[in-house]
Chains A and B, each alone.
Chain A
């Protein structure tokens, strides 16, 4: 059987990591430019009210920031889009807090931190902020988290959805957990994908690993320590004009992505 090819148009892109606080900054850097001076240390997701923005967990802040940026880039109303959120570990700082608190004083667990500890916290805050009743999901697949999230997004497009939002993110690990679950910095990337329309055409085929990957691009070098770094070959390819990339899909599987402009 010939391999199944799933396709989508990339209608909008959002990006944030420390040092590169927008897709424009990331594109310029990927093409050989400098890191912008005075990049903010934290994303400031405009979808949240100012008091919520300050209190939001890092993962929620970065996911909502890139999600909204991708919608703006695509000129799409966030309210109309189903969403797929994917993260390797969810919010590692909250997991560290929960485990520490349970070991020290379990009855003192913060209720807000508990409800923020669910893996779909970012998806939940997104649907509330965007006032959307569209379906949202939250996935994890270890090193294959982004590729498997992209597969879920592409199968939604192949089965009746005309446009959706895909968001990948991971945060800084901390505490004793951080010595086992490694993740540096804060990284988020988002794509608005459509079944047809304008934008680069993405064609994805699931296969096995073993074929050589292209050398890492500048974005991948810059944020290599983050647990969502396996998504960066796609963002490097989009920024540099490359025509294909390979994404780790976990356990020896690889997603081969062709980009037709």
Chain B
């Protein structure tokens, strides 16, 4: 594919708000995980990657109808690293209708619906939501995309991708197609997911949540730690010159099971091969791979097998989930930002919390950090429904 320029990018996670907070914590090997202190009443015994200060974010009055935890985190993340200004500048250069908004999320603002069910009121028609939550837009998946479009004033195609944990990786693929097809000149892509009962108790019901901090690819790993995050990137037609670029994307389906990966990682391999092919590079040219690496027994085994089957020993592949927790629909953008940071700084994070590699791990899976020049970086994101996406980033 024709490379696309990434002219602005940011992430806000349990490590803090904005890119520098991510860089610092990755450098210092400082996890953002804490003991579960989310919500009222009895809490699951687990660790979470919670973003500080989301409760205190105040949306501007004209955006009040979108108010909810997920959109507050979206707003907080948008204020970092000049993203709003970059989006508005793109609208000035191309025209607002020539800039798309493509957002990814798993549960969007379902936390608002969950809250409404704890505060139900009654009238002649039966149970109803309290008045402050009778806002249809926060009870539908497009809450996020609609909010970001209104918050930025962009007016091109606008949609929310919701393919579980691959959502905000797939937004890059979709943006690339919109630009290549000529429908727009640029796209604001990103993703936001926030902690809520649905995911904490849902993943718990599948016995996928660890009582300990997650430790991806460790032989003794016993589940994931959930997190919340938001991130954005501005993707546009590449001008000549230096800069970060989207070089390839690959998408595939496992065709195997709704909540368990294909045992040989067939779908994962197809997505990675497709992304490398679109980028026009060989597997040996890849320097850094940010793994999906959730720390569930199944995901990490399968991903390690797929990586060993495809890449030479020289690849530095690692998971950053023990820093941020698994941020679900936001994992795609957060870990794409981490891949872009690696391209920018040459600092390749290892895998935090992990000490004993699972026997299936090849030499590609790294626990220790490394510094080296990075020309190409890949990010893997795999979701329920066997939905896979791999992205290749590079520099001009």
- A residues apposed to B, CB below 8 Å: 4, 6, 88-90, 95, 98-100, 102-103, 106-107, 109-111, 114-121, 123-125, 127-128, 130-142, 144-145, 148-149, 151-152, 154-156, 158-159, 175-177, 179-182, 206, 249-251, 253
11 A-B pairs within 8 Å (CB atoms) are namely: A109-B202, A118-B163, A119-B106, A120-B163, A121-B258, A123-B387, A133-B255, A145-B159, A159-B177, A176-B127, A180-B139
Nearest A-chain residue to B123, judged by Cβ: A179
- B144-165 vs A, CB cutoff 8 Å, 1 = contact: the mask equals 0110010000010111111110
Chain B residues with Cβ below 8 Å from A98 are: 110, 114, 198, 202
Chain A residues with Cβ below 8 Å from B256 are: 128
Chain B residues with Cβ below 8 Å from A90 are: 141, 162
Min CB distance B115 to A, Å, is 9
**B181 interface residue per 8 A CB criterion:** yes
Chain B residues with Cβ below 8 Å from A177 are: 113, 116, 129, 139
Chain A residues with Cβ below 8 Å from B259 are: 111, 115
Min CB distance A160 to B, Å, is 9
Instruction: Report the separation of the CA atoms of residues A261 and B201 in the bound assembly, to the nearest whole angstrom.
Output: 52
**B174 interface residue per 8 A CB criterion:** yes
Top 4 nearest A-B pairs (CB, nearest first) are: A124-B385, A119-B162, A135-B251, A114-B202
Chain A residues with Cβ below 8 Å from B134 are: 180
Chain A residues with Cβ below 8 Å from B38 are: none
B255 with A131: CB separation less than 8 A = yes
**B253 interface residue per 8 A CB criterion:** yes
Chain A residues with Cβ below 8 Å from B114 are: 98-99, 102-103
Min CB distance A197 to B, Å, is 19
The verdict on A4 contacting B183 (CB below 8 Å), with A127-B386, A132-B255, A177-B139 known, is yes
Nearest A-chain residue to B260, judged by Cβ: A115
Query: 11 other contacts beyond A176-B117, A177-B129, A206-B183, with CB at 8 A cut-off?
Result: A98-B198, A99-B113, A102-B114, A118-B106, A134-B253, A137-B387, A155-B183, A176-B116, A176-B129, A177-B116, A253-B157
Min CB distance B253 to A, Å, is 4
The verdict on A127 contacting B161 (CB below 8 Å), with A120-B387, A155-B178 known, is no
B162 with A144: CB separation less than 8 A = no
**B286 interface residue per 8 A CB criterion:** no
- B residues apposed to A, CB below 8 Å: 106, 110, 113-114, 116-118, 120, 125-129, 133-137, 139-142, 145-146, 149, 155, 157-164, 170, 174, 176-178, 180-183, 197-198, 200-206, 251-259, 266-267, 270, 383-387
Instruction: Report the separation of the CA atoms of residues A110 and B198 in the bound assembly, to the nearest whole angstrom.
Output: 11
Of B133, B180, B258, which is within 8 A of A124 by CB? Answer: B258
Nearest B-chain residue to A140, judged by Cβ: B141
Nearest A-chain residue to B249, judged by Cβ: A135
B127 with A139: CB separation less than 8 A = no
Chain A residues with Cβ below 8 Å from B182 are: 4, 158
- How many residue-residue contacts, CB under 8 A, span A and B? 223
Of B136, B139, B162, which is within 8 A of A120 by CB? Answer: B162
Of B117, B140, B146, B252, which is within 8 A of A100 by CB? Answer: B117
The verdict on A181 contacting B139 (CB below 8 Å), with A138-B163, A155-B177 known, is yes
Nearest A-chain residue to B385, judged by Cβ: A124
Instruction: Report the separation of the CA atoms of residues A237 and B180 in the bound assembly, to the nearest whole angstrom.
Output: 29
Of A115, A116, A133, A159, which is within 8 A of B267 by CB? Answer: A133
B174 with A152: CB separation less than 8 A = yes
Chain A residues with Cβ below 8 Å from B201 are: 102, 106-107, 109, 114
Chain B residues with Cβ below 8 Å from A135 are: 251-253
Min CB distance A133 to B, Å, is 5
Chain A residues with Cβ below 8 Å from B145 are: 140-141
Min CB distance B68 to A, Å, is 13
Chain B residues with Cβ below 8 Å from A249 are: 157
The verdict on A151 contacting B157 (CB below 8 Å), with A251-B146, A251-B149 known, is yes
Chain B residues with Cβ below 8 Å from A124 are: 253, 258, 384-387
B177 with A123: CB separation less than 8 A = no
Instruction: Report the separation of the CA atoms of residues A253 and B113 in the bound assembly, to the nearest whole angstrom.
Output: 27
Nearest A-chain residue to B180, judged by Cβ: A159
Instruction: Report the separation of the CA atoms of residues A141 and B149 in the bound assembly, to the nearest whole angstrom.
Output: 11
Instruction: Report the separation of the CA atoms of residues A191 and B270 in the bound assembly, to the nearest whole angstrom.
Output: 26
Min CB distance B134 to A, Å, is 6
B113 with A123: CB separation less than 8 A = no
A115 with B141: CB separation less than 8 A = no
Of A136, A139, A154, A180, which is within 8 A of B253 by CB? Answer: A136
A133 with B158: CB separation less than 8 A = no
Instruction: Report the separation of the CA atoms of residues A76 and B330 in the bound assembly, to the nearest whole angstrom.
Output: 35
Min CB distance A163 to B, Å, is 16
Of B139, B158, B202, which is within 8 A of A250 by CB? Answer: B158
A144 with B163: CB separation less than 8 A = no
Chain A residues with Cβ below 8 Å from B160 are: 139-141
Nearest B-chain residue to A130, judged by Cβ: B255
Instruction: Report the separation of the CA atoms of residues A151 and B133 in the bound assembly, to the nearest whole angstrom.
Output: 32
Of A6, A99, A114, which is within 8 A of B116 by CB? Answer: A99
Instruction: Report the separation of the CA atoms of residues A249 and B253 in the bound assembly, to the nearest whole angstrom.
Output: 28
B116 with A137: CB separation less than 8 A = no
B384 with A115: CB separation less than 8 A = yes
B129 with A180: CB separation less than 8 A = yes
Min CB distance A62 to B, Å, is 17
Nearest B-chain residue to A79, judged by Cβ: B255
Chain A residues with Cβ below 8 Å from B133 are: 180
Chain A residues with Cβ below 8 Å from B203 are: 114
Of A121, A179, A180, A206, which is within 8 A of B385 by CB? Answer: A121
